[in-house]
């Protein structure tokens, strides 16, 4: 359910980013939950107890060959060893943070996801991307999305109160670009989505020497 909702939210976020040709300028501030913020690096990820991921061979084999091929183009440089399983499956946990930091190149926009439970017991999905560092030739992992679903309300009044609290906390980030927030009532649940969608940044991938360059078409 949460993954389907996340897909809907991401579509809406991307649509907003594309439809506004001249986005309003905002100060460089990113929304946060208590444990982590949009834009945080691997150092901050180390402070969270991520739910462990079971990388069975069957789980890896379920990933289609076409997706594996795309991941190989996205993360080049692994040679005969192939792209690591966690990059193929697209999931990480606490044991993989050191391995993630050893990945230095991504040729296309990318993301992998980790999950943890907040202090209040709310399941929280975090998406991270290996992205270019502004003004440098290096890349680093940064948090680009945080999704949290609130449920189990004891009354309509309790749900309404939480919705009010969320809108009060994230009001200045609503409908903001490139980093912003969405609070979405979903029947008996409320979804919180914090996101960082930067189309200009996404166009800067692919400049590394390991990345495939589009073949030039002859005019003749």
Residue-wise pLDDT for 13-58, tens only, equals 444 443 343 334 434 689 999 999 999 999 999 999 999 998 778 8
pLDDT at 212 over 60: yes
**pLDDT over 60 at 6, yes or no:** no
Supply the mean pLDDT for the chain.
Answer: 86
The arithmetic mean of pLDDT across residues 58-77, rounded, is 90
pLDDT reading at 181 higher than 80: yes
Average pLDDT over residues 56-69: 88
Question: Residue 58 and residue 170: Cα distance in Å, rounded?
Answer: 41
What does the pLDDT read at residue 42?
Answer: 96
Of residues 33 and 136, more confidently modeled? 33
Higher-confidence position of 177 and 15: 177
pLDDT, residue 214, reads 66
Mean pLDDT of 49-70: 89
The pLDDT of 155-170, averaged and rounded, is 96
**Residue 90: which of 51, 108, 63, 61 has the closest Cα?**
63
Q: What are phi and psi of 121, to 5 degrees?
A: 85, 20
Kindly provide the residue ranges of all beta strands, DSSP E only, lying in 33-178, ordered along the sequence. Answer: 112-117, 123-132, 139-150
> Of 86, 179, 101, whose CA–CA distance to 139 is shortest?
101
How far is Cα 124 from Cα 35, in angstroms, rounded to an integer?
10
């Amino acid at each position: 359910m949460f993954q389907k909702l996340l897909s809907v939210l991401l579509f809406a976020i991307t649509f907003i980013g594309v439809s506004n040709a001249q986005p309003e300028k905002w100060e460089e501030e990113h929304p946060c939950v208590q444990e982590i913020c949009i834009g945080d690096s691997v150092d901050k990820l180390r402070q969270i107890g991520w739910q462990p991921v079971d990388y069975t061979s069957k789980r890896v084999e379920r990933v289609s060959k076409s997706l594996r091929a795309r991941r190989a183009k996205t993360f080049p440089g692994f040679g005969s060893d192939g792209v690591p399983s966690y990059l193929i499956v697209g999931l990480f946990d606490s044991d993989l943070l050191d391995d993630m930091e050893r990945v230095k190149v991504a040729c296309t926009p990318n993301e992998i996801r980790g999950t943890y439970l907040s202090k209040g017991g709310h399941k929280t999905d975090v998406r991270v991307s290996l992205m270019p560092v502004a003004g440098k030739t290096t890349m680093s992992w940064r948090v680009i999305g945080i999704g949290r679903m609130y449920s189990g309300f004891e009354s309509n009044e309790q749900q309404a109160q939480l919705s009010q609290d969320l809108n009060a906390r994230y009001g200045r980030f609503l409908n903001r670009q490139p980093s912003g927030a969405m609070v979405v009532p979903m029947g008996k649940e409320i979804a919180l989505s914090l996101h960082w969608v930067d189309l200009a940044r996404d166009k800067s991938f692919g400049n590394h020497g390991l990345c495939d360059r589009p073949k030039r078409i002859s005019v003749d």
